[in-house]
Amino acid sequence: MVSLPMRAQHMEWRDYGGAADGAQYSALKQVNRGNVAQLEKAWTFETGDNRGYLFNPIVIGKVMYVLAHNNSVVALDAESGRELWTHGFDAKTLLMTNRGINYWESEDKKDRRLIVAVDNNLVELNAETGEPISSFGTGGKIDLREGLGRDPQRLTLVQSYNPGRIFHDLLILGSSTNEEYGSGPGDIRAYNVLTGKLEWTFHTIPHPGETGYETWPKDAWKTVGGANAWSGMALDTQRGIVFIPTASPKYNFYGANRKGANLFGDCLLALDAKTGRLVWYYQMVHHDIWDYDNASTPMLLTVHHEGKKVDVVAQASKTGFLWVFDRETGKPLWPVEERPVPKSPMPGEETSPTQPFPTLPFPFARQKFTAEELSPFLEPEEKSQLAAQIKAARNQGLFTPPSLEDTVEMPGNNGGANFGGSAVDPATGYFYVVSKDLPAMLKLTLAAEPLKMGSPEVRGRALFEANCSLCHGTNRAGKPPAIPSLVDVRSRLSEKEIQDTVRYGKGLMPSFAQLSGDDVSSVIAYLTRPDLSPDEPKSASPVAKPAAGDPALAHYRSSFGFMFASSGLPVIAPPWTTLTAYDLNTGTIRWQIPLGEVPELAAKGITNTGSHFPKVNPVVTAGGLIFTGSRDKKVRALDSKTGKVLWESEVGAALDGMPAVYEVNGREYVVFCAAARSTTHTHAVPGHPASQDPIHGAYVAFALPAGSR
């Protein structure tokens, strides 16, 4: 891989996020503020199934690579959308790097490869033919569960949905460990692209003698998981430094088994891309018990600061903070203050007495939620009930520790910035971030010990009570549409579909990989025949004492607690989604707007709410535009100076992912993956009954009319 100057690497769309730096920026400017209103559909390629996709296409020369046809890699003619070839995987394939893939080519361009993770295996395809490359790894694949110091058969989720980064002949890769106790460690690894050989490993849960080992209990690396890098990475090709954001250690909401600051959880890491050596790090959350991952790609840009040009890296987080560091030293551009935060009342829990707060820039998301901020769209009775619940809850700000009582969390563990939500103009110092405000109500309970005897239905109910009832309720009714009802679920889902959902997670539901196959079968038996289980399963008390009286052995769990109204909309007043523009030369907000809308509300004239529960990925261009889409089935172009919508078009399905901007034969295209799970008509707003909206996914490309360029 040859390092290109900044503008040159942004003239194409060869990587996830456009280029190796992941800037989500295009230097193309044929389409600009003056003519964007003329954009029209150039071609459409249907995904050919009813799956949800949020894929960012890559374009190499005149060929585009996408995900479609039941998780197949498909090559398209980038000018016409015509299918060139398709490589399908095993019909049982469940997991793929479904947000993007990696591309590598030799210096003479004769060897060209696509790299993708499929069901915890890393595989390569010939980019010209789609044929597997059997010389890679062992028999054409690498098992990503191996080499982590754990039993590979017990690690059911290791691969990340995001691709890694290519540096010369190395693929640098993170992981997506599950959310439970006993998850795998979040090692960052680099593999040789040609052979599959593991070249280096960085331990995010340090081993003896490594930096940060003293911030964990002795030998924590053998048993504790997480601190993983599941989101995007940014590669500074000139310096040979890769910037990697990390997530919380596991379990997310209780950490008595991992006392200490827990480096390198919730950090921004700067690693030598060639060797994996630590250059610098910064930890944004000490001993995270809120699931406050650094969930978005770090952004590389150049700013004017104190009379000098400074190359910086900026990291947006779930907390609503934007952190800005000198790229070489890791020094914050503006002061960061360690401020006192509440102490946990939980047995054995030792929270950090302080947490870091950046003084600039100002937060892009709301960081508190009170009864006075409830949504005006709530029914009066529901609003009254919620107000009483919030007033009675523990609510001491951003770092209120979860407890046995209701605890308000804001912006929420699925709020703030998420994957692909940031974009920059690298040269001007302008930074853009999409965020959502989604408060959560956390409440810990001590997981009951399920029965070891009895019928499958009896054991299944005990397991359900211990693992599922916090979200779905003891009556299995859930809170549709956000948390579905499991009443009569077997009439809607097959046994395999339920098994796969429990094993891998889906939507808001995390993986419950700790449950054995027999455990899951028992749960399914209970859901199928709940009348054959007793009204009160004989499991251990949810307030039972921890094993041997040691809190570190206790498995407290919390519901994710996303606060949705009965309508399916968030309970907080809108806007629910915003797009914020920063000038990082000064650390100030240029503008902030609601992004998207809820169609059911817009039909009644209610706008400026922002979209509902998005994972929107914007792209900035040299033409002065921001391209984005949302779950309201609309794609838009905004003026990057003001946030004003200059163009929009409705497509056939919702959007969650990132558009790609590219040029073929002198014509600039913008392609969107319109194939996400929609919120349209899946929740009931007065006057609009709820129904399930099927996906009719497609990749839709737009360009200026021929002859108008």
- pLDDT tens across 53-87, in order? 899 999 999 999 999 998 899 999 999 999 999 99
Range with the largest mean pLDDT of 191-195, 505-509, 694-698: 191-195
pLDDT of 2 > 60? The answer is no
CB-side neighbour CA atoms (13 Å) of 541: 4
Q: Answer for the pair 101, 16: CB distance below 8 angstroms, yes or no.
A: yes
Unique residue bearing structure tokens 């280096």: 200
* Among the listed residues 580, 607, 605, 608, the one whose alpha carbon sits nearest the alpha carbon of residue 594: 608
Higher-pLDDT residue of 352 and 482 is: 352
Tokens of 117: 């993770």
Cis peptide before 362 (omega within 30 of 0): no
Task: Assign 547 a pLDDT band (cuts: 50, 70, 90).
Answer: low
* Among the listed residues 255, 274, 275, 256, the one whose alpha carbon sits nearest the alpha carbon of residue 265: 255
Please tell me the least confidently modeled range out of 162-171, 256-265, 381-390, 446-455.
446-455
| Angle, CA 615 vertex, CA 614 and CA 621 arms, to 5° | 115
Higher-pLDDT residue of 544 and 664 is: 664
How far are the Cα atoms of 113, 484, 501, 502, 503 from residue 506, in angstroms, in the given order? 30, 12, 6, 8, 9
pLDDT of 689 > 70? The answer is no
Cis peptide before 358 (omega within 30 of 0): no
pLDDT computed for residue 647 by the predictor: 98
Task: Assign 449 a pLDDT band (cuts: 50, 70, 90).
Answer: low
What per-residue string of b and e applies to 189-210 under the rule 16 or more CB within 10 Å gives b?
bbbebeebeebbebbbbbeeee
Task: Assign 511 a pLDDT band (cuts: 50, 70, 90).
Answer: low
Q: Answer for the pair 680, 599: CB distance below 8 angstroms, yes or no.
A: yes
Q: Answer for the pair 630, 621: CB distance below 8 angstroms, yes or no.
A: no
pLDDT of 506 > 70? The answer is no
pLDDT of 598 > 50? The answer is yes
Higher-pLDDT residue of 615 and 706 is: 706
Residue 703 CA to residue 350 CA, distance in Å, equals 56
% of the chain surpassing 90 pLDDT: 68
The residues, ordered by sequence, that sit 6+ positions from 653 with a Cβ below 8 Å of its Cβ are: 633, 674, 675, 676, 678, 695, 696, 697, 698
pLDDT computed for residue 692 by the predictor: 45
pLDDT computed for residue 133 by the predictor: 97
DSSP secondary structure letters along 98-128? TT--EEEE-TTSSSEEEEEEETTEEEEEETT
Is the pTM higher than 0.85?
A: yes
CB atoms under 10 Å from CB of 455, counted, come to 15
Helices 517-528 and 456-467, packing angle to 10 deg? 100
Sort strands 619-621 and 25-26 into parallel, antiparallel or unpaired.
parallel
pLDDT computed for residue 451 by the predictor: 61
Task: Provide mean pLDDT across the span 291-318.
Answer: 97
- pLDDT tens across 201-212, in order? 999 999 999 999
Task: Assign 534 a pLDDT band (cuts: 50, 70, 90).
Answer: low
Tokens of 45: 């390629």
Mean pLDDT of the chain: 89
pLDDT computed for residue 543 by the predictor: 39
Q: Answer for the pair 10, 286: CB distance below 8 angstroms, yes or no.
A: no
Q: Answer for the pair 246, 217: CB distance below 8 angstroms, yes or no.
A: no
Please tell me the least confidently modeled range out of 10-24, 79-93, 107-121, 520-534.
520-534
Q: Which helix (H) or strand (E) holds 188?
A: strand 188-192
CB atoms under 10 Å from CB of 541, counted, come to 9
- pLDDT tens across 232-242, in order? 999 999 999 99
C-alpha dihedral over 499, 505, 508, 514, to 10 degrees? 100
- pLDDT tens across 136-185, in order? 999 999 999 999 999 888 887 788 889 999 999 999 999 988 777 888 99
How far are the Cα atoms of 48, 395, 677, 695 from residue 51, in angstroms, in the given order? 9, 39, 8, 7
Q: Sketch out the chain's domains with CATH numbers.
A: 1-49+420-430+577-709 (2.40.10.480), 448-541 (1.10.760.10)
What per-residue string of b and e applies to 277-316 under the rule 16 or more CB within 10 Å gives b?
ebbbbbbbbbbbbbbbbbbbbbbbbbbebeeeebebbbbb
Please tell me the least confidently modeled range out of 115-129, 299-313, 433-447, 550-564.
550-564
- pLDDT tens across 309-326, in order? 999 999 999 999 999 999
pLDDT computed for residue 470 by the predictor: 64
DSSP secondary structure letters along 352-373? -SEEEEESSSPPSS-----GGG
